[in-house]
Amino acid sequence: MNKKRPVILVSNDDGITAQGIQFLAQLMSEFGEVYVVGPQEHQSGMAHALTFQVPLRARCISESKDVHMYSLNGTPVDCVKFGLDQLIPNHTADLIVSGINHGSNSANSSIYSGTAACAREGAINRIPSIAFSSLDFSSQIQFEPYVPYIRKIVQTVLNQGLEEHVFLNVNFPKPDRVIRGMRVCHLTKGLWIERFEAELDPRNNTCYWLTGEYHNEEPDNEDSDEWCLAHDFVAIVPIKIEHTDENAKQALSILNC
């Protein structure tokens, strides 16, 4: 009797035409039946945003035996919700993967990332989920050096699952580096020092562009994802979606009445 192949949902925030999602979808077909739902347009930085003000429209991009690819005029999380509700019966995906993002989603960038949000949405639905990102921002990346690491991570998660409401945020060094291995670590403590740069548009009106740089508050901590990436390790961070701070909850118990 043939064993049923896992059902895998793939999404991203770079858009359905991005090289990363195309590459990841084909790689996931080694493991199971793949449903791909990607944003129609680039949606980086959308975090967990949802679309309520306009109707959503899906379009089938391509169909093959193991890969079913759709675009949606919504956010990354819209794509995951649509895939689970409309393409996969009874929300029964065995795995959700997102990426491979063109650009890092380490440290607190994971809060703003639509790529990470896809995996977070999977964890909310109690589905093992992984977000994959690369330090390389180029639109054309040689993803092949990442393949053995992706295979090992995916196979491990398919075999043993993840704790409920936990997803993996995986970041890769640039592919032209010699990867030294993988480390399970934590999100680096730090913050973005941001500013808005003003310029004049063609009608002489002032407009603004958000820019800035990341300030690492623990550059020597070898258990942080930024340190791992700086030293050519694949950084794997298990992230919980439950954020209640038990210490603060106890300290504020005087408010209970």
Q: What digits encode the pLDDT tens for the residues 45-93?
A: 999 999 999 999 999 999 888 899 999 999 999 999 999 999 997 778 9
Residue 3's pLDDT is 67
Strand partners, 206: 200
pTM of the model as a whole: 0.94
| Residue burial 99-135, b: 16+ Cβ < 10 Å; e: rest | bbbbbbbbbebbeebbbbbbbbbbbbeebbbbbbbbb
Q: What digits encode the pLDDT tens for the residues 93-139?
A: 999 999 999 999 999 999 999 999 999 999 999 999 999 999 998 87
Q: Say if residue 1's pLDDT is above 50.
A: no
Question: CA 62 to CA 180: how far, in whole Å?
Answer: 37
Question: CA 55 to CA 157: how far, in whole Å?
Answer: 35
Amino acid at 229: L
Tell me what percent of the residues of the chain surpass a pLDDT of 70: 99
Q: Is 46 exposed, middle or buried (0-12, 13-18, 19+ CB in 10 A)?
A: buried
Domains and their CATH numbers in the chain: 7-187+220-255 (3.40.1210.10)
Tell me what percent of the residues of the chain surpass a pLDDT of 90: 85
Structure tokens at 208: 């603004």
Question: CA 15 to CA 142: how far, in whole Å?
Answer: 18
Strand partners, 171: 133, 235
pLDDT, the chain, mean: 94
Instruction: Find the mean pLDDT for residues 32-51.
Output: 94
